Amino acid sequence: MQVLAGPRQIGKTTLIRQVGKTLGIPFRYASADEPGLRGMGWIAQQWEAARLVAYESDERGAVLALDEIQKIDGWSETVKRLWDEDSMTGLALKVVILGSAPLLVRHGLSESLAGRFEILHLRHWSYLEMREAFGWDVGRYIVYGGYPGAAGLVDEPERWSRYVLDSLIETTISRDVLLMTRVDKPALLRRLFEMGCRYSGQILSYTKMLGQLQDAGNTTTLAHYLELLGDAGMVMGIQKYAGDAARRRGSSPKFQVMNNALFTAESAKPLEEARIDPEYWGRLVESAVGAHLANAAATGSCELFYWREGDREVDFVLRGAGRLAAIEVKSGRVIQSLPGMETFRSTFSPDACVLVGGDGIAIEDFLSRPAETWVRDQRKA
């Protein structure tokens, strides 16, 4: 079976419905995105209805798409039983499972369905996708991020902001995080999310977090909640690069939103105002580059870190396919020396040292290329 997994509101449902119309075989779609109203019996009912159509279609079979199925307790055991029954009888029923948070879906998959599924990862929309779909330039993407459903509202910044805050952020936290995982301090998780958005692109120790958050508990709780937010495609904590040494969970994380809309929604600052504020614009640019890299890392195609020793720092470190790339982001035109990059180069011998902005690679060019480009052997490309 196929598992279509990715963050909320990036078009998974739209995609599977569009595909269903082009298959040329019967297609059935059903959603469990109604907390408390669905159970394992509902899965069996939908499956039986799809089986009936598959029997009537002879060799062509049918496709059953089950959306948000991870919201049903014990769903994987029911799916395993039904799938194995069809495998024994040779019924040509193809199954697609959709879920909002990759790791939440994967919890159920790993319990009972080992060897029976393939995951297709979807990311937040990239700059290229927003440009092709909506005609955006890179500045608009940097400010408003990559939520397709919000694209039509950007000319009304306050309305756009309310849509992102209410329909995207609140829905994801309440229905994809709090509903699916035990969270003893939901108010703390919300405040941590707000802090992660406010400090996107910045390194913050857990000690400083404890000082700013009331009733923060301990560093283990904060680290766990930050992992949950990352699993939901919202905010992740990038860990410090330490070469071949094991990463320490307690190291100070670098906050990174997975979509720049999460960074800018609270301020609702229009594009024109953002551009004329050099400090704010610089943070936006670095956050957009980080989100581009973080979404690639979330699919497992590479690993993302930062590096800092004393006052020397490299914004992002990308590792994949046995290769290492150091990435520095500068939004201004005048570039001074890069002591952090030079120290990192002499210490770890990266395969590529990339400057984004300034007199390096243009922001638009960088965001137009897959993140994996920088850890790919260009001689084989």
**Residue 364 domain boundaries:** 127-375
Instruction: Please state the length of the chain.
Output: 381
Are residue 111 and residue 136 in the same domain, yes or no? no
Domain assignment present for 380: no
Mark which of 121, 139, 172 sits at the end of a domain.
121
Structural domain count, the chain: 2
Are residue 21 and residue 166 in the same domain, yes or no? no
Mark which of 121, 156, 178 sits at the end of a domain.
121
The confidence score (pLDDT) of residue 103 equals 60
pLDDT tens, 216-260? 678 889 999 999 999 899 999 999 999 875 455 557 999 999 999
Are residue 79 and residue 142 in the same domain, yes or no? no
The confidence score (pLDDT) of residue 246 equals 46
Domain assignment present for 309: yes
The confidence score (pLDDT) of residue 28 equals 96
Mark which of 121, 144, 168 sits at the end of a domain.
121
Are residue 180 and residue 307 in the same domain, yes or no? yes
Are residue 95 and residue 205 in the same domain, yes or no? no
Are residue 91 and residue 137 in the same domain, yes or no? no
CA distance 334 to 194: 32
Are residue 94 and residue 156 in the same domain, yes or no? no
CA distance 40 to 35: 13
- Name the H helices within the chain: 12-22, 40-56, 75-89, 102-112, 127-134, 138-144, 157-163, 170-171, 186-198, 206-212, 219-231, 260-264, 271-275, 278-298, 339-348, 363-367
Q: Which residues of the chain are modeled with pLDDT < 50?
A: 246, 379, 381
Domain assignment present for 157: yes
Domain assignment present for 381: no
pLDDT tens, 176-197? 888 778 899 999 999 999 999 9
CATH of the domain at 80: 3.40.50.300
| Pairing mode of beta strands 62-67, 27-31 | parallel
The confidence score (pLDDT) of residue 182 equals 85
